Amino acid sequence: MSSLLELNVSALTLDDLQLLHAGEHAISLPERAYDAIAASYAVVAKAAAGNEPVYGVNTGFGKLASKRISREDLATLQLNLIRSHSVGVGEPMAPAVVRLILAIKAASLARGHSGVRQIVVDTLIAAYNAGLVPYIPSQGSVGASGDLAPLSHMTLALLGEGEVLKDGVRRPASEALKNAGITPLVLEAKEGLALINGTQVSTALALHALLTFEPVLESALVVGAMTVDATRGSDGPFDPRIHEVRGQPGQIDVAKYYRTLLSGSVIRKSHEENDDRVQDPYCLRCQPQVIGACLDQLRHAALVLVREANAVTDNPLVFAETGELVSGGNFHAEPVALAADAMAVAIAEVGAIAERRIAMLIDTAVSRLPAFLTPDAGLNSGFMIAHVTAASLASENKSLAHPASVDSLPTSANQEDHVSMATFAARRLQPMIENTAHILGIELLAAAQGIDFLRPLTSSAALESAHGLLRESCPFVGEDRYLAPDIKRAADLVKHGALSRVFRALPDASKLPPLWIPV
């Protein structure tokens, strides 16, 4: 980690979160945070020394909140909480997700409403800076009362009792902490509860999806524009006047992206005056309306997730100015669940309209290209079954897009009787992104094939650049060959930023509206 990023407590931006996700900077706390941490800890220390029952300080948890705990057992209470709640199952969370969890948990506790000592926040930051990745199983949270199981696994590692991932291998956390020069954390009153109560896991998973979908969405714009040219579609539907009279901001921006991507296309010029088709199919003509609506949903989700990344979401909360501990329900992750569900629908729709464009490309009656995009249809099947793969992935995404937030199973003997399912809502986005990237990879291959049939005519400079990137590793399909490796290589261009860089290098790119409105 080459440079230092100060956690701007309560004011982290999406750009900050992207840097935390990448893990290329060490992090630190601003000096002003330490006074707030100390003031809130003093309130908890006073409650722990007193005789009044205070939830999470000297009582049991959940349905056991009426059980009083003796003063000499308060530290054991917190340790037992972490041990008993470390019950996750499934594959471990990705290192980028875990980095976000550590960082935004530290930022939340540093706001001074959680009653923990400075050493708790410092240990989270030290683990992040040392590149430690606590082993956190991905399943086991219902998104209220906080992400209890996954955050318990994170905390267990900080105590030296859990595990970390090192080079993909599970290792004892005690060994990793020692090698990093970090003293295992010893919990005091309320600190275990403060660490595991909260929405940081579901928020980090949803942010991970937002950030990993960004290059896929930019690629979708490039590939969708390529298909317009490959099928000799019209750029008339991208006329700014159409979109201004509707007034939907995402639609207006997406139409501008398409106009810029198609600007200078010789293919378009060649059929501008003698095209007998009155209107293109919806999958071409309505791209601003469909992708623009998806963009509006994703932009709203980004706003919600940035707010949540800056939030205090444990319970009870400390208000040092009055010396009160107040019980509430900020750990309920409904905002994250609804945002993740909206993201799921948007991701599915980006893939769904791409699948329709592939279907149009291989249909000679609509595309006016050779059937199934092969020079010798019959002897060769061309892209016939590649489209079937795209259809299967689009259909799979439809099932995955079912809202998670509408489901709720009561837990903790009905004490926690309505839960958000936010953690699954966010976690299921990754396979959906993977599916959509593969659909777009297939469309990229098909659109490039279509453009090759129109040679010597050329597309715009931007789209020729995208075509050239593909042809570096995936040649024209003149006759049937093993196509799965080509699909993988094309999907990698979609996922890993190559096509995204084409989008970001558009002429006057700085004058184009940003994909995510700054938040």
Query: What share of the chain has pLDDT > 70, as a percent?
Result: 98
Residue 519: pLDDT band with limits 50, 70, 90: low
pLDDT digits (tens, 9 = 90+) for 90-122: 999 999 999 999 999 999 999 999 999 999 999
* pLDDT score recorded for residue 60: 82
Q: What is the mean pLDDT of residues 129-146?
A: 94
pLDDT digits (tens, 9 = 90+) for 468-509: 999 999 999 999 999 999 999 999 999 999 999 999 999 888
Region of 356 please: left (phi>0), alpha (psi -120 to 50) or beta. Answer: alpha
* pLDDT score recorded for residue 99: 97
| Helix, strand, coil shares, percent, the chain, to 5 | 60, 5, 35
Give the CATH fold of the 207-311+350-408+417-511 domain. Fumarase C; Chain A, domain 2 (1.20.200)
Residue 167: pLDDT band with limits 50, 70, 90: confident
* pLDDT score recorded for residue 409: 77
Q: How far apart are CA 390 and CA 394, in angstroms?
A: 6
Statement: residue 276 has pLDDT above 70: no
The CATH number given to 3-197 is 1.10.275.10
Statement: residue 518 has pLDDT above 70: no
Q: What is the mean pLDDT of residues 276-284?
A: 86
The amino acid at 268: R
Residue 242: pLDDT band with limits 50, 70, 90: very high
* pLDDT score recorded for residue 393: 98
pLDDT digits (tens, 9 = 90+) for 355-398: 999 999 999 999 999 999 999 999 999 999 999 999 999 999 99
Whole-structure pTM value: 0.96
* pLDDT score recorded for residue 21: 97
C-alpha distance across the termini of the chain, in Å: 25
* pLDDT score recorded for residue 51: 87
Q: Where in the chain is the domain with CATH 1.20.200.10?
A: 207-311+350-408+417-511
List the catalytic residues. Answer: 55
Q: How far apart are CA 152 and CA 87, in angstroms?
A: 8
Statement: residue 2 has pLDDT above 80: no
- For 400-421, give one letter per residue: b (16+ CB within 10 A) or e: bbeebbeebeebbeeebeebbb
pLDDT digits (tens, 9 = 90+) for 40-82: 999 999 999 998 888 888 888 877 778 888 888 999 999 999 9
Statement: residue 416 has pLDDT above 90: no
Q: Where in the chain is the domain with CATH 1.10.275.10?
A: 3-197
* pLDDT score recorded for residue 264: 96
Statement: residue 354 has pLDDT above 70: yes
Phi/psi for 324 (5° steps) reads: -105, 150
Query: What share of the chain has pLDDT > 90, as a percent?
Result: 86
Structure-model confidence comparison of residues 512 and 411, the more confident one:
512
* pLDDT score recorded for residue 415: 72
